[in-house]
Amino acid sequence: MNKKYIFLVFVVILFTLPSCKKFLEFEPYGQPVELSNMTDGQAMQAIYALYYWQYREGTMGRGFMWFENCSDNIITGRTQAEAQNIKNFIDNGSNTRDVRDNWPQMYQTINYANNLLKQAPKATKLSEAVKNKVLGHAYFFRGFAYLWLAPWYGDNGPNGGIPIVTEKTPLDSIDVPRPPSVLDNYKMIIDDLQKASDLLPWFDEIPENERGLMHKTAAWSLMARAALYAAQYDNSYYAKVVEYTNLVINSGKHALLSKYADVFKIENNWSKEYIMSVTSTEIDGSKLPGVIFQNGGFGYYNTWGYFQPTLELYNAYAPGDTRRKATILAPGDTAQFIGRQIIWAVNPSSVSSPSAFTFRKYLEPFKDADCVGKTVNPNSDNGTTDLNIPIVRYSDVLLMKAEALIWQGQNGDQPLNQVRARAGLAPKSNAGKEDLKNERRCEFALEFGVFRHLDLVRWGDAKAAYSKPLHGYKVNLSGNSIASLDVIEVWPARNFDPAKNHVFAIPNVEIAKSKNLKQNIGY
């Protein structure tokens, strides 16, 4: 997909349409352009507008990473009271970090999709192929937007799901109450994504200049993810996870790259492992690469220093696991940053990370001396890069299938061991739940979509995990070498209440806009 062109389309749409203020307003940026009078080319702009959430800091810059920051993988790398409140489960709905942007942005996406679903069948000037593309994308992104919100805010009681609004909801009834169960959301998500998969092409049928547009296996993969989240309340969904992951696997369209580190290189943005990502450029996209590295970038580039790894994450990797070095910079490790060789925590010796670790996973675009303006955004307050940030990878599909099989008492070794083999690890025989849990932890650290916090909650492990403090290193140097590493506590034990904290507070500003929306219990 021509990402630079599409970003300009977003800007035009946003600045030519009025904004919304009411909860679940049907016209998220004013009335979208009428499809009835559009040509095929003009209708593509309506499709591109569905991708606007990718360019929002509150969704794909930090967004729900503030919630993922609650996990035992990550600590807040800078002193920030609001982020600390979220991590310590004492935020009561203010959500003053940009996590609050997810709810309105996704409901705007839902309502924009609803408008396209309402208009497209009546758009007689559109070719059947383009009409199907519009409908396929509208179904896809409505399902995606609900899936992006439902696991964080909905349950099977006492709170229920999140409000369901479709193209058939009357305008005067759009402020709808929450459904009794989040399973209502997951059922709708799966239905929407199934309809999308029937209308969307295969990825390899998409022209090169439209790469990044959605396709069949992306829809099937998210169906599997929705079923996996639903299975915590209804274990019959595990069979659906296997069914949907098999659709992806048996399509023959995807495979693992041979080296884990290669997944996070610009040259492999559209590799066989790719299924869905935040398509990004040095102009805009996901700010996550600029968010995570050393605060201030040692004066070379103004990275922000949030979301730093814990010693607990570092130690989760088995000896010989190649994913650890590809994911984490530990004291003494080397990396190229803006053309300089960095010996982490040694030269330069000053690190802002309280744990003395930082994430390496998205640093590849920063390696060359001339990267700023070439592969990295020249504006360091918008630290995007040419690296696409994954939302779904093929390894996710394999491990979802493995989990569903293991949780049904079946053998999940075959898909699980594909992932282990690529990491340089020996195969498991009769792998159990703990094996699966650790594979997901090591494979997907700091990736959008596959959130460890949600995993710990749905597995019932969050209370025990969060009752333990988190650790890092104090680095003791002797000249230009490490004399010793002292283990230190970098975050105290926390009190996670499974009856309350299994969901987060809906932003209070959204509650205030609605007559029917009820806050989650305890907040």
**In this predicted model, what pLDDT tens digit does every residue of 54-70 receive, in sequence order?**
988 888 888 889 999 99
Please give the model's pTM, rounded to 2 decimal places.
0.94
Residue 24 confidence (pLDDT) above 70: no
- Residue range 86-125, pLDDT digits in tens: 999 998 777 677 888 999 999 999 999 999 999 999 898 9
By three-state DSSP, how is residue 308 classified?
A: strand
CA atoms of 367 and 106, how far apart (whole Å): 34
Q: Give whole-number Cα distances, 304 to 53, 281, 354, 391, 426, in Å.
A: 21, 18, 14, 22, 37
The predicted pLDDT at position 312 comes to 98
- Residue range 469-507, pLDDT digits in tens: 999 999 999 999 999 999 999 999 999 999 999 999 999
Residue 275 confidence (pLDDT) above 60: yes
The predicted pLDDT at position 165 comes to 96
Sign of CA dihedral 353, 355, 357, 358: negative
Tokens of 373: 């303006």
The predicted pLDDT at position 3 comes to 56
Over residues 240-260, the mean pLDDT reads: 98
Lowest average pLDDT, out of 6-15, 211-220, 268-277, 341-350, goes to 6-15
pLDDT over 90 percentage in the chain: 84
Strand partners, 277: 390
Lowest average pLDDT, out of 3-17, 88-102, 190-204, 446-460, goes to 3-17
DSSP assigned state of 487? E
- Residue range 129-176, pLDDT digits in tens: 999 999 999 999 999 999 999 999 999 999 999 999 999 998 888 899
Q: What residues have CB less than 8 Å from 348, skipping those under 6 apart?
A: 298, 342
Closest CA to 222 of 160, 284, 162, 151: 151
Residue 364 confidence (pLDDT) above 90: yes
CA atoms of 518 and 511, how far apart (whole Å): 7
CA atoms of 250 and 219, how far apart (whole Å): 15
Give start and end residues of each alpha helix (H) in 282-412: 288-292, 311-316, 322-327, 394-407
Q: What residues have CB less than 8 Å from 281, skipping those under 6 apart?
A: 3, 4, 7, 384, 385, 386
CA atoms of 181 and 191, how far apart (whole Å): 16
Residue 274 confidence (pLDDT) above 60: yes
Q: Given pLDDT bands bounded at 50, 70 and 90, which one contains residue 346?
A: very high
State the number of CA atoms in the 13 A half-sphere of 247 facing the CB: 19
Q: Give whole-number Cα distances, 293 to 80, 307, 367, in Å.
A: 16, 8, 13
Q: Helices (H) and strands (E) in the chain — how many of each?
A: 19, 10
Residue 7 confidence (pLDDT) above 80: no
Lowest average pLDDT, out of 24-28, 69-73, 306-310, 455-459, goes to 24-28
Range list for CATH 1.25.40.890 in the chain: 1-58+101-200
The predicted pLDDT at position 178 comes to 98
CB 59 within 8 A of CB 102: yes
The predicted pLDDT at position 93 comes to 74
Amino acid at 22: K
Q: Which residue has the tokens 């932003």?
A: 507
CA atoms of 490 and 470, how far apart (whole Å): 6
Tokens of 112: 């924009």
5 vs 268 pLDDT, higher one? 268
Residue 256 confidence (pLDDT) above 90: yes
The predicted pLDDT at position 26 comes to 36
CB crowding 115-137: b at 16 or more within 10 Å, else e: bbbebbeebeebeeebbbbbbbb
CATH top class, domain 1-58+101-200:
mainly alpha
Say if residue 348 is preceded by a cis peptide, omega within 30 of 0.
yes
Say if residue 32 is preceded by a cis peptide, omega within 30 of 0.
no
Tokens of 491: 């975050």
Q: Which residue has the tokens 């390696």?
A: 367
The predicted pLDDT at position 32 comes to 52
Q: Give whole-number Cα distances, 128 to 12, 39, 140, 219, 379, in Å.
A: 27, 12, 18, 21, 42
